[in-house]
Structure 1
Amino acid sequence: MPRASKEQAERNRERVVETAARLFRERGVENVSIGEVMAEAGLTHGGFYKQFESKEALINEAFALAFSQSSRTWDEVTRRVARAEAPATGLNALVKHYLKERPLEQACPMLAFSSTASTSEVSAGLASSYRRGTEALYAQFKREMQQTLGASVEPDELETQTNVMFSAMVGAAMLGRAMGDTPLSRALAGAITASASASASDAGD
């Protein structure tokens, strides 16, 4: 294959994965067909199998891309705040960002892909892809907790507080996504945000 054609094929493949990640986040994996992905990417349906072995192969790559995109966004949020204010405020900024209402195509992949990853029919490969992505975001969140709580915190205490805050943040976002803008969803998000703010304030004292 000539170099120009090979480079174009690689660009087309990247466009398909980017398009799939966006559509899967917006509408759910099970609600998006290969034909829809290819049409949205501006490519023919017939070209799909020149690039991917199956829809599952595409889903795997789309999962990896979506989790990577979220990780980069989290980094940008915390770095921006740390430069402008103080490192301990990164957690507060991250929680606020996570709970902020946003378009579905920018939804957290932990939420957007959970229904796919939790079905009994899901393959071991897809389940593993989801698990790796979630564990990577958890580790990133834990680093922010460490930055906020300080180096003196005991490992067990760090683990406990991280688990509570992370699960509460994701749970509040999941309920907000399912229920919409209701008094309860606002109260839950507000409680988690206040808790993160209090942790940052305590660290600064």
Structure 2
Amino acid sequence: MRKSRAETADTRRKIVEVAAREFRANGIQATGLADLMAEAGLSHGGFYRHFDSKDQLVAEACETGLSAIIHKLDTAAGESAGHDGFKAIVDAYASTSHRDERADGCPLAGMGSELARADEQTRAVAARGFDDLVEVLARRSKRRQKTTARSEAIFALSAMIGAVTMARIVEDPEASAAILQNVREHLTAM
């Protein structure tokens, strides 16, 4: 029996959501299609009914993950007490919970080095996501001049991505937390 278009779209969405979590948690290369499809409750053979290649899935999963982190940071900024949205974003991103919850974290911190080597479509998605995150930060900057706010946001986002990445690499929990704390302090003092 054939699936309806709605069921097919739901299945595809489910695969992308599972892939977004698995790629962020384990990396692109370490995530096999058979394991990913099993995690989605589907057979490996069904993958190519939905996607032309793993690269296509990586691009869509990256986009889904970036949309989720943008929404999360926008929400944190909107809920910030005292209306310091920039600080709220920095605190949410450069946090031990973000470090520890890889599957729900930012694809740029979780897969950055792999994304740099990905196909053109995936790199374009990642670059757009970076720009969107920069805009989320720049909108909340205390800088009045747009170019200065954007420059500050690029610096802040780059520092936060690096901090989360390094905090995940460092094995000593105190040193890892200190990386995040130091970056938060420097960025919120700007």
TM (normalized to structure 2)? Answer: 0.87
For 1:202, the equivalent position in structure 2 comes to none
- Tell me whether 1:185 sits opposite 2:173 in the alignment: no
User: Which one-letter code corresponds to 1:124 in the other structure?
Assistant: E
| Rg larger for | 1
1:99 to 2:90 alignment = no
Are the structure 2 counterparts of residues 160 and 36 from structure 1 closer, same or farther at C-alpha, using a change threshold of 3 Å?
Answer: same
The question of whether the paired residues in 2 share the 8 Å contact of 1:21 and 1:66 is answered with yes
AA in 1 matched with 2:111: F
In the alignment, what sits opposite 2:28?
A: 29
Partner of 2:128: 132
Query: 1:132 Cα shift?
Result: 1.2
Change (3 A) 1:162 1:6: closer
Change (3 A) 1:55 1:164: closer
The aligned counterpart of 1:46 is: 45
Over the aligned positions, Cα root-mean-square deviation in angstroms equals: 2.1
| Distance in 1 between residues matched to 2:154 and 2:7, nearest whole Å | 44
Tell me which residue corresponds to 2:138.
142
2:19 and 2:36 in contact (8 A); partners too: yes
TM-score by length of 1: 0.82
Q: Which runs of 5+ in 1 are unaligned?
A: 200-205
Q: Deviations over 1:36-88 (max 9, x none)?
A: 1111000111111111111111111101100001111111111111xxx232x
Deviation at 1:127, TM superposition (A): 1.5
Does residue 1:171 correspond to 2:155, yes or no? no
Distance 1:106 1:163 in 2: 22
Q: Distance in 2 between matches of 1:161 and 1:15?
A: 36
Conserved 8 A contact 2:135-2:153: no
Q: Give percent identity, aligned residues only.
A: 27
CA contact (8 A) 1:91 1:196 kept: no
In the superposition, relative to structure 1, how do residues 59 and 191 fare at CA in structure 2: closer, same or farther (>3 Å)?
Answer: same
- Which secondary structure does the structure 1 equivalent of 2:41 belong to? coil
Runs of 4+ in 1 over 6 A off after TM superposition: none
The 3 A distance-change label for structure 1 pair 57 and 9 is same
Query: Are 1:75 and 2:70 counterparts?
Result: no
Q: Distance in 1 between matches of 2:127 and 2:147?
A: 23
Q: CA deviation at 1:168?
A: 2.1
Quick one: which amino acid aligns to residue 86 of structure 2? L
Aligned residue among 88, 110, 113 for 2:111 = 113
